[in-house]
Each structure stands twice: as C-alpha cells, then as structure tokens.
Amino acid sequence: MGRVDTPKSGAPIGCPSGLQTREVAELDPMGGALDLSPYVTRSDNEGSTLELIVQGAHCAGCLAKIERAVTALVGVKTARMNLSTLRLRVVWDGDQTSANDIVKALSDNGFGAAPYSVDASEQKAQDELKYLLRAIAVAGFAAMNVMLLSIAVWSGGADMGEGTHSLFHWISALIALPTVAYAGRPFFRSAFAALAQRRTNMDVPISLALVLACGLSLYETVHNNLDTYFDAAVMLLFLLLIGRYLDARLRQRTGAAARRLAAMQVTSATRILPDGSIETVPAASIKPGDTLLIPAGQRLPVDGIIARGTSDFDMHIATGESQPQCYGPGDPVYSGTINLTAPLTITASAALSDSFLSEITELVELGEQSKSRFVKIADRAARAYVPVVHTLALLTFVGWLLVGADLRVASLNAIAVLIITCPCALGLAVPAVQIVAAGRLFKNGVLIRSGDALERLAKTKSVIFDKTGTLTQGRPILTNTDDIAPDALALAAALARQSNHPVSRALHGMQTDLEVTDITEIPGQGLRGTFAGDVVRFGSAKFLGLDSGDARAGTVWLQKGTEAPVAFAFVDALRPDAADVVAALQADGLRVDLLSGDVKSVAETTAKTLGIEHWYGQVSPRQKMNVLYQREAEGRYPLMVGDGINDAPALAAANSSASLASAADVAMSASDIILQGDRLSGLPMAIKTARAARSRVIENLGLAITYNMIAIPLAVFGFVNPLIAALAMSGSSLLVTLNALRMAR
Amino acid sequence: MEALLWLIPIAIAMGAFGLGGFFWSMRHGQFEDTDGDASRIFMDDTDSPIVDDSMKSDSIKKDARD
C-alpha cells in the first residue's frame, strides 16, 4: 500500500484525457507485490488466462493505452479491455511473462489492477439481463408484425373481405401466442411466486391481462369474429419488458460497481505452512489457526492475534480512531486495519462469539430487519389497484349478463376493462422515474443500490456523519509548515522516506536530498537516524524524552542531536467538500450530527470547524445505533453517512444510509448509497434528486389514476375496441415515461 | 389479393431474419461492452491487430469477442 510511483518522463500517467481525479497509487491495492497465481487459469491450447479489474480507465485513450501496454509484453496473445465492466482479460503464454509483469505494465502506465474472480450473483444478474433482452427482441418483432396486420384490419374495416380479415387474425394469432408464451415468462413467474405466497404484486394483473386478452382473441379468431386484441397484448408485453430491462440493467450496473469497489480491497495473503515454507492464498481461503505473514504497509485480511512482532496499526477503518495504535504479541488485531511499521506474524482467529466483527455482524442483521418492513410505493399502489380493477371487471361481466347480453359480449367487456386499465401506466409509473433518477445519479458518481432507497432518502430530515474517513480523509497533513525551518522539514522528510506511518506519508511529497543513515522505526514511538554525526529523532514527545507538558494530540517532534526540538502539528485532513456539504445540508433545513469513535477533543474540534452543533465522541457501534434510533423516534428519518466497520450496524439500521467508495466492505454492503470518488458533494444532490423523484412518482400515479378513470367507464359500457385499446395503452405509457424523463435535466 | 400471399410471408420473413440476426449478435457477445465499443472508434490503431497472428492457424476456439 502506498507505493509512490515516479512517472516516466514525458508520458502522462493514467487517463490521457485527464478524467482520472485521484492518484491511482492510492487506489492500487497491490502495489505490484501480491502473487496472482491463484487467479490464473491455465489451459493447454490457450495458455494462461487472467481477468483483472482495472482502475482508472475512462475513455478510448485509456483503452488504447491499456491494451497496447499489455500486448507489448512478450508472449501476450490477447488483451481485451471491457470498458463497461472495467475488466481486462489477458491470454498469454505463461512461460514468457508472468501475471505480475502484466500488473506492473499497467501500473507503470498509471492504472491500478486487482484480480477478479467471477461472482455467482453477478453471473446471475448478467444472465437475467440477456434473458430479458431476448424477450424484448421477440416481443418487439411480434409487436411490429402484428401491428402490420392490425392496422390493415382497422383501416380496411368494412371494405375488407371476410376471408382476408380472418386470415390476418390467424396470422396474428400465430405470431402473438408463442410470443406471449416466451416473452411473458418473467411476468408469469413473478405472478405465480406471489400467488403461491397468497400475495399479489403488479405482475398478477399484468399476467391476467395477457392471458385473458390472448384467450379471448383466440376465441374470436376461431369464430371468425371482428375484434381481436393480439396487438394490445403484445404491445403491453413489449413496453413493460423495456421497463423491466432498464430497471434490471441499472441494478446490475450499480451492483457491479459496488462489487468492483470491494474487489479493490486486499484479496491475497501470505500463509506460513507448518514446515516453514510460505504460500500466497486468496483471503477467502484463510482458516482460523493459520499463521500469516503481514508485511509493513499491508492491510490485514482477517482478524487475528499477533504471534510475533510489534507495530503500529491504522485503526480508522475499524474504530474511527485517527491516531495509530501500537500492538504487540498477544494483542488482538482486526481485519481492515493497516499494519504500518514492522512485519508481523499473526495467527488468524476464529470469529468468537464476543469478537468485534461478529458483534458487528449481529448488529447489522438486526438493523436490516427493521429496514425490510418498509413497503415500496409501487407495492402499495398494486395492493390498491388489484382488488379494485378485478372487482370492476367482475361487476362489468355480471352487469352485462343481467342486462341480457350473451356470455361473449359480457366477457368481452369485462376483459376490455382488464386490458384498458393498462397495468402499463401503473407498472411503468414508478420504475420509469426511479430508473431516470438513479441513472442521473449514477452519472454524477452516486450509486443507489435499490429503488426503494430513493424513496427512503426523500424523507430525510436529518443527517448523521461519522468523522474519521467520512468527513476527514483519514490521513494527517502538516498544518504549521510556515513555523518550521526548511532544513528541519528536509531532515524530517529524509527520515520519513521509508516509513509507512501516516505521519511519515504526509511528508513523502517533500523533496529532500539529505543523507540520513541508520534509520530505524520504533513502533508506537517514532523514527531515529544519524545525520552529519548527530542522532536525529522524530516522534512523540515521550520518544524524545520531553516532559508531558509539551504533549499535544497530533504533535510530532523533531530533534537533531541536542538542539531545541521542533514541533510538527498534524491534523487529520478534512475532505475538501466537507464544509460546503454540511453548510448546504443545514441550509436545506436538515439537522446535522457528528458521531465519532475518535477521542472527544478531536471530535469537538472537527465539529466546530465544520459548524456542526451536535457532536458525540468516543462512540461505540452500539451507541451509534442508539443515537440513530433516537432520531428516528423524533420522526427525523436520519441519513447515516459512514465508512468504517464500526459504522456498519448504524448504516444497516438507518432509514437511509450512505458510504464512500473507500469504505470497508461491510459498510458498503450495509448502505443504500455509495459515493464514488469519495465526493461528499453527492449527498445534497442525492437528497434533492430523491425528493424530485418522489414528486414525479406521485404525479405519475396521479396521471395513471386519471387515465384509468376515463378509460374504465369506456370499457364498462362497451365502447372499447382494439384500436382504442392500442391507442390508450401506448398513449398512457408514453405520457408516464415522458413525465419521468422530465427529471433527466 | 394474391399479392398478399407473397407480401405477408416476405414481411414476416424479413422480421424473423432481423430477429435471428439480433440473437446471433447477442450470442457473439456484441452487446457485452457497449461503452468500450463506442470508445474504440476513437482509437488511432494503425498497428497490428490484437490477436497474435501465429496463433490463428492453431485449432483454438475463437475468442468470442473477436
């Protein structure tokens, strides 16, 4: 982690179009050091194959650069970059090049890479998309051809001969019936599943309408009658499938994007076998009791207990503390934390019932249960729609029979009621808006994981922020550069060059050509070296032997020989947009809280800097949930924003939640929204979009209801014929979709 | 009306051909990477193709994306 890349002279690093905003070195999880052999598949005729997720690829220029760089390696047969999934597939001759050479070629050009293994759920999502696409193609083909014939029938009218009329109906039947059987499967399956559980959803009336329309039309065709509704049925299918496909595609894209972010976190570990040899294994195959070697700078893949070595750990992802903690043999250490100073041997531990991570998992499950009780607007509409419409159809049927009409006319009108109410408008009203809103947010770097996340977000009246890693960048910066003499700065930078400690990394950017020798890093204390004959020390006040009166949180001291010590004030850098975002949210009338696992003094300073009135420090995960429940009880529908493992329970339990792209895996999967590029500015925009989406949804439902109120009487009283049905259906769908697109600006 | 006996099957056959073509292109992975395909037209590739020519003669299963 934190490998500093020096760019090749002249060539720009990364995206040639300049679309990459963050240093890829920050994103590169492997630093070229990890072993990829578990991910390479070998075959006799193809050679070695590897799939990598590539970070930093945005445009055609990146594509060209990546493929060119990899194919330039000896023995590489194909290198194909997929810009939609950001995956690179390389096939090469394993003897001539190694997987690590490929990764190095990528990172030399400014692109980070992580190994990718096909996820079962992602495969399923992809298959579902392909299946829907095929269904759309078939439905589209059928709709066009049946419409061809129907228009002829409608315009021909009385002039058309009976034989021709009947022929056209039969051909329409031959096209439409197999189509409905093939392309209607998604709806039939969903309807059956709901009915089997004695519930209804929107797919039940849709399936019913399709089946009845086809059945009725077939009957009419066989008896050489005038009106068939094949075109209405197939067009209904076509339009609804499009809506379903777009919805599934958006969910698949956000799911894939979230999974890519998780994949960039550590995936391999070095295991020491009982006979002393070492092997590299994927993190998923680590078992409790395994002995692992953790070099300095690497993130811990699992929980464990230190067997040998002492080192500093960056804890912020687990507990929110901004100051690294020092642990030695026998101390428990947590997955996700970063080993900073010295290599360690740890024993992977089982998830004990009282271990930190298992407590978190328990709390997360608890939180998710409360969220699942939320009923989506679409389902609520379906619950109202289904009984009303079916009752009306039944009443129509009975009514016509009572008036003396025969069975055929009565059923014609009853089915007309079912068809004309067009689950089209209702089935599209909500998804159309959510797709447009989510798509717009996706373009702005905000991933929304489900449609109902948008609905819940719209109700937000208060925001709760975690501090470390969310409002702050999780790394310190030097604040008093002006007070420090340049040669002291240069000396400190020279000492810090090889160290991974966050404080040292803050100094890496500084140029220095001073020769400091015998550099040693003492975990928990500081750095020591020799310069021009003097012993130089850079570390905590205690390390330098200064009295505790000079000890201030975040201050590091440099002392050369016996000269006066120089103070370096480090502060956890706030994210550049944090202050603006807090101000924007407060201006919007939302109450903002700060909850931090860090020490109270630091939490207070941060709160004051950002203008947040309500802050809490040293908060445990359970306490975070309690504050959350309190806000919910006050009716404020809180939005929880966090990134660490300790935030995951609150993220799962909150009415709506957001996390950053750099968050812990557990936090990302527990939250509704992921902010790509760690841009907090996505939050006010997301809330605004969610509220706009809510208005559009209500408008659309209103339009659908109005349309139904006009159309149902027409159907009940027998004024509907296939032409009117087709026009009404397409008209209402178009209206609802156009209204949804109003959001796109 | 004899014209109809020709026209209708032709129209449907054309449609079916289009449908078949769509399925074929789906099977060949032409819809796997719409963003990438859109970007590739901007690439200034005047050098050799991606596939190593010396492997073409072997009986490898053709890479579906080619």
A586: helix, coil or strand? helix
Query: What pLDDT does A471 receive?
Result: 86
Query: What pLDDT does A640 receive?
Result: 92
Q: Judge contact between A205 and A704, C-beta under 8 A.
A: no
Q: Do B33 and A82 touch (CB under 8 A)?
A: yes
Query: What pLDDT does A232 receive?
Result: 86
In the structure encoding, which two tokens stand for residue A527, read together? 């750095």
| DSSP secondary structure letters along A4-22 | PPPPPSSSPPS-TTS---S
Q: Judge contact between A208 and A236, C-beta under 8 A.
A: no
Query: What pLDDT does A626 receive?
Result: 86
Of residues A505, A506, A443, the one with CA closest to residue A685: A443
Of B15, B32, B65, the CB nearest to A144: B15
Which tens digit of pLDDT belongs to each residue from B9-43?
998 999 999 999 999 999 988 888 888 888 888 87
A-chain CB neighbours of B61 within 8 Å are 46
Amino acid at position A37, single letter: S
**Chain length of chain B:** 66
Alpha helices in A531-678 (DSSP H): 541-544, 578-587, 600-610, 621-633, 648-653, 665-670
Q: Do A77 and B18 touch (CB under 8 A)?
A: no
Q: Judge contact between A527 and A495, C-beta under 8 A.
A: yes
| β-strand partners of A521 | A527
Cα A364 from chain centroid (whole Å): 17
Query: What pLDDT does A12 receive?
Result: 54
Extract long-range pairs of B23-30: CB within 8 Å, 24+ residues apart: B23/A134, B23/A137, B26/A130, B26/A133, B26/A134, B26/A137, B28/B64, B29/B64, B29/B65
**Separation in Å, CA A231 to CA A159, A180, A704, A707:** 21, 11, 21, 20
Among B14, B23, B55, B57, most A C-beta atoms within 10 A, so best to mutate, is B55
Which residues of chain B approach chain A closer than 8 Å at the C-beta? 1, 4, 8, 11-12, 15-16, 18-19, 22-23, 26, 31-36, 39-45, 50-52, 55, 58-61, 63, 65-66
A526-531 and A517-522 strand pairing: antiparallel
Q: Judge contact between A675 and A684, C-beta under 8 A.
A: no
Which tens digit of pLDDT belongs to each residue from A161-197?
788 888 889 999 999 999 999 999 999 998 899 889 8
Query: What pLDDT does B65 receive?
Result: 43
DSSP 8-state code for residue A58: -
**Separation in Å, CA A59 to CA A81, B41, B65:** 11, 11, 19
B-chain CB neighbours of A164 within 8 Å are 1, 4
Comparing A228-242, A279-293, A697-711, which segment has the lowest mean pLDDT?
A: A279-293
Beta strands in A427-467 (DSSP E): 446-448, 462-466
Q: Which residue has the higher pLDDT, A428 or B56?
A: A428
A360: helix, coil or strand? helix
Which tens digit of pLDDT belongs to each residue from A384-434?
888 888 888 889 899 989 988 788 888 888 888 887 876 777 777 788 888
A571: helix, coil or strand? strand
Which tens digit of pLDDT belongs to each residue from A97-149?
788 888 888 888 888 788 887 777 788 888 899 999 999 999 999 999 999 88
Query: What pLDDT does A330 receive?
Result: 87
A582: helix, coil or strand? helix
Contacts of A502 by beta carbon, 8 Å cutoff, 6+ apart: A314, A324, A340, A475, A476
Q: Which residues of A are catalytic?
A: 466
In the structure encoding, which two tokens stand for residue A19, read together? 């679309």
Spatial distance between the Cα atoms of A77 and A67, rounded to a whole number of angstroms:
11
Q: Residue range A321-329: average pLDDT?
A: 83
Spatial distance between the Cα atoms of A634 and A465, rounded to a whole number of angstroms:
18
Query: What pLDDT does A352 receive?
Result: 43
Residue A57 has pLDDT above 60, yes or no: yes
A-chain CB neighbours of B26 within 8 Å are 130, 133-134, 137
Q: What's the pTM?
A: 0.76
| DSSP secondary structure letters along A728-740 | HHHHHHHHHHHHH
Spatial distance between the Cα atoms of A668 and A29, rounded to a whole number of angstroms:
17
Residue B58 has pLDDT above 50, yes or no: no
Among B17, B24, B30, B40, most A C-beta atoms within 10 A, so best to mutate, is B40
Of B12, B22, B50, the CB nearest to A80: B50
Residue B54 has pLDDT above 70, yes or no: no
Q: Judge contact between A536 and A554, C-beta under 8 A.
A: no
Assign A547 a pLDDT band (cuts: 50, 70, 90). low
Q: Residue range A214-238: average pLDDT?
A: 87
A413: helix, coil or strand? helix
* CA-based R_g, chain B, Å: 19
Residue B66 has pLDDT above 50, yes or no: no
Query: What pLDDT does A664 receive?
Result: 77
A294: helix, coil or strand? strand
Of A45, A130, A149, the CB nearest to B60: A45
Q: Judge contact between A629 and A653, C-beta under 8 A.
A: yes
Query: What pLDDT does A472 receive?
Result: 84
Q: Residue range A648-670: average pLDDT?
A: 85
- CA nearest to B27 within chain A: A130
Spatial distance between the Cα atoms of A658 and A671, rounded to a whole number of angstroms:
5
Query: What pLDDT does A179 receive?
Result: 95
Spatial distance between the Cα atoms of A395 and B51, rounded to a whole number of angstroms:
68
**Separation in Å, CA A586 to CA A336, A462, A589, A593:** 33, 9, 5, 10
Q: Residue range A229-253: average pLDDT?
A: 86
Q: Minimal Cα–Cα distance from A256 to chain B, Å? A: 14
Query: What pLDDT does A19 receive?
Result: 63
Query: What pLDDT does A8 receive?
Result: 41
Q: Do A83 and B42 touch (CB under 8 A)?
A: no
| β-strand partners of A325 | A313
Mean pLDDT of chain A: 82
Spatial distance between the Cα atoms of A228 and A723, rounded to a whole number of angstroms:
10
Which tens digit of pLDDT belongs to each residue from A434-467?
888 888 888 888 988 777 888 899 999 999 998 8
Is A342 exposed, middle or buried, given 0-12, 13-18 or 19+ CB atoms closer than 10 A? middle
Query: What pLDDT does A2 receive?
Result: 34
Among A17, A19, A43, A46, most B C-beta atoms within 10 A, so best to mutate, is A46
Cα A102 from chain centroid (whole Å): 28
Phi/psi of residue A264, nearest 5 degrees: -75, -10
Spatial distance between the Cα atoms of A646 and A600, rounded to a whole number of angstroms:
17
